[in-house]
Structure 1
Amino acid sequence: MTYFIHIFLNNIVPLAVMILIGAAMFRAFRLDIKTLSKLNFYVFAPALVFVKLYESELSVAILGQVLLFFLLFFTAISVMTELFVRIRRYKGGMKGAMRNSIIFYNSANYAIPLNQMVFVGDALTLSVQMIVMMMQNLLPNTLGVYNVNAHKSSWKEILKTVAYLPTIYMIPLAFVLRHYQIAVPQPLSIPLHYIADGFMATALLTLGVQLGGMKWAFRFSDVLWSNFLRLCMGPLIGLGVVWLLGLHGVMAQALVLSCAVPTSLSSVLLAVEYDNEPEFSSQAVFMSTVLRMFTVTLVIYLLPYIG
Structure 2
Amino acid sequence: MNVFFFILINNIAPIFFIIGLGYVLEKTFELDIYSFSKVNFYVFVPALVLVKVYQTEIQFELMRAIVYAFTFLAAMTLLAVLMAKFRDYKMARASAFKNSVMFYNSGNFGIPLITLVFAGTEYAAYAVSIQIMVLMVQNLTTNSIGFYNAGRGQMDVKNTLIATAKMPSLYAVIIALSLKLIPFNMAEFFIWPAFEYMHDGLISVALLTLGIQLSLAKLELKDLDVYLASFSRLIGGALIAFVLIYLLGIEGVMARVLFISSAVPSAVNTALIAVEFNNEPDFASQVVLTTTLLSTVTLTAVIYLSGILF
Q: Is the 8 A contact 1:248 1:306 kept in 2?
A: no
Alignment-derived partner of residue 115 in structure 1: 114
Question: Residue 272 of structure 1: CA displacement?
Answer: 0.5
Alignment-derived partner of residue 138 in structure 2: 136
Name the Cα RMSD after superposition: 1.6
Q: Map Cα deviations across residues 10-51 of structure 1 (whole Å, 9 max, x no partner).
A: 111111111100000000011110011111111111111222
Give the gaps of 5 or more residues in structure 1.
none
Q: Map Cα deviations across residues 90-120 of structure 1 (whole Å, 9 max, x no partner).
A: 1131110111111111111111111212122
Instruction: Classify the secondary structure of the residue corresponding to 2:34.
Output: helix
Whole-angstrom distance in 1 between the partners of 2:278 and 2:155: 13
Length-normalised TM-score, structure 1: 0.94
Aligned length: 306
Q: Is the 8 A contact 1:33 1:210 kept in 2?
A: yes
Give the gaps of 5 or more residues in structure 2.
none
Worse-superposed segment, 71-80 or 118-127: 118-127
Whole-angstrom distance in 1 between the partners of 2:264 and 2:240: 13
Worse-superposed segment, 17-26 or 174-183: 174-183
Instruction: Classify the secondary structure of the residue corresponding to 1:139.
Output: helix
Length-normalised TM-score, structure 2: 0.94
The 1:72/1:2 distance shift into structure 2, 3 A limit, reads closer
Question: Residue 144 of structure 1: CA displacement?
Answer: 1.6
Question: Residue 164 of structure 1: CA displacement?
Answer: 1.5
Alignment-derived partner of residue 199 in structure 2: 196
Instruction: Classify the secondary structure of the residue corresponding to 1:153.
Output: coil
Question: Residue 6 of structure 1: CA displacement?
Answer: 2.2
Letter in 2 for 1:137: N
Whole-angstrom distance in 2 between the partners of 1:61 and 1:158: 37
Whole-angstrom distance in 2 between the partners of 1:75 and 1:217: 29
Question: Residue 179 of structure 1: CA displacement?
Answer: 4.5
Alignment-derived partner of residue 13 in structure 1: 13
Find 1:149's aligned residue among 114, 139, 151. 151
Whole-angstrom distance in 2 between the partners of 1:117 and 1:156: 44
Alignment-derived partner of residue 298 in structure 1: 301
Letter in 2 for 1:44: F
**Where in structure 2 are the equivalents of 1:216-255 lying within 5 Å?**
216-255=219-258
Instruction: Classify the secondary structure of the residue corresponding to 1:198.
Output: helix
Whole-angstrom distance in 1 between the partners of 2:178 and 2:254: 26
**Where in structure 2 are the equivalents of 1:199-210 lying within 5 Å?**
199-210=202-213
Whole-angstrom distance in 1 between the partners of 2:136 and 2:222: 31
Question: Residue 283 of structure 1: CA displacement?
Answer: 0.6
Alignment-derived partner of residue 31 in structure 2: 31
Q: Is the 8 A contact 1:53 1:130 kept in 2?
A: no
Instruction: Classify the secondary structure of the residue corresponding to 1:291.
Output: helix
2:80 aligned with 1:81, yes or no? yes
Q: Map Cα deviations across residues 114-153 of structure 1 (whole Å, 9 max, x no partner).
A: 1212122822222221221112112222222222222442
The 1:204/1:41 distance shift into structure 2, 3 A limit, reads same
